[in-house]
Amino acid sequence: MTGVNRKLGILLSGRGSNFEAIHRAIAAGTLDAEIAVVISNREAAPGIETARRFGLKTVVMPSQGVPREQFDRELVRVLNDHQVGLVCLAGYMRLLSGYFVQAFPQRIVNIHPSLLPSFPGLDAQHQAFDYGVKFTGCTVHFVDEHLDNGPIILQAVVPVEEGDTYDTLSARILAEEHKIYSKAIGIILSGAYRIEGRRVVSVS
Ligand code: GAR
């Protein structure tokens, strides 16, 4: 598709390994996109330091104590200032307001460390491990007003092995996250899909 806005706005709150994986995919030429800005709602997020080191445009917007919609209005303004076409949540640990979601209709994606709709919310890896499932994984999905909801773009399955600990399982899930997030972004930017109800269907 021509004229697609390939400028990504990355939102993160912590480590930023998914952001780094997206950055690597772009550098390797496997993802045709550009990171226009990396925004953190936490000053101490290691991911924002990494983004600075990479020479990317960074913005820190402390969110603590700021009313959700007021914060999100400012966030939308910053993303628009950078002409962002696709917002990528990469470990962004803050609920988005309806205002934000409506500002970027079907233009916000999130990665979650479980096979949704199982184990939404915080620490999905712990939830899955403690529940005793034999398979878990990760999900890239469009973001709507509800937590870890929205049409699913890609998922990867990770088997839970005998002898797994929370740490070994989390590490294998994370390795899959790093693969499918860039792939899902590539699908969206290709425009070769349509959304039918909750289903994201490929079109050729
Ligand atoms: C990732 O595991 C991501 O799936 C999860 O936070 C971690 C961030 O790691 N996101 C959520 O749980 C969202 N509900 P990272 O900062 O190294 O990318």
Which CATH number fits the domain that encloses residue 114?
A: 3.40.50.170
How many helices (H) and strands (E) the chain has is answered by 6, 9
**2 within some domain:** no
List strands edge to edge, sheet with 152-159. 58-60, 34-40, 7-12, 86-89, 108-112, 135-142, 152-159, 199-202, 193-196
Is 111 close to ligand 1, i.e. is its CB under 6 Å away? yes
Distance 122 CA to ligand 1 centre (A): 9
Taken in order 39, 45, 51, 52, the sign of the CA dihedral is positive
3: left (phi over 0), alpha (psi -120 to 50) or beta: left
**Ranges of H-type helices in 82-194:** 98-103, 124-131, 166-190
> Is 23 a residue of the active site?
no
pLDDT tens track for 142-157? 999 899 999 999 999 9
**185 within some domain:** yes
Which residue owns the Cα nearest ligand 1 atom 8?
91
**128 within some domain:** yes
Which residue owns the Cα nearest ligand 1 atom 11?
112
pLDDT tens track for 84-124? 999 999 999 999 999 999 999 999 999 999 999 999 999 99
**93 within some domain:** yes
pLDDT tens track for 46-64? 999 999 999 999 999 999 9
User: How sure is the predictor about 1, in pLDDT bands with cuts at 50, 70 and 90?
Assistant: very low
**How far is residue 16's CA from residue 46's CA, in Å, rounded to a whole number?**
7
Atom of ligand 1 nearest to the CA of 110: 13
Amino acid at residue number 128 = A
Which domain, by its residues, includes 165?
7-202
Q: Phi and psi (nearest 5°) for 149?
A: -120, -175
Q: How many domains does the chain have?
A: 1
Amino acid at residue number 64 = Q
Is 17 close to ligand 1, i.e. is its CB under 6 Å away? yes
The overall average pLDDT reported for the chain is 96
pTM for this entry: 0.97
Tell me which of 112, 126, 141, 178 is the catalytic residue: 112
Which residue owns the Cα nearest ligand 1 atom 9?
91
Amino acid at residue number 95 = L
**164 within some domain:** yes
DSSP-derived pairing of the beta strands 86-89 and 152-159 = unpaired
pLDDT tens track for 80-89? 999 999 999 9
Pick the closest to residue 153 from 176, 180, 135 (CA basis).
180
Residue 159 DSSP symbol: E
**1 within some domain:** no
**23 within some domain:** yes
**67 within some domain:** yes
Is 107 close to ligand 1, i.e. is its CB under 6 Å away? no
**How far is residue 185's CA from residue 107's CA, in Å, rounded to a whole number?**
10
Which residue owns the Cα nearest ligand 1 atom 13?
112
Is 170 close to ligand 1, i.e. is its CB under 6 Å away? no
Q: Judge whether residue 2 has pLDDT over 90.
A: no
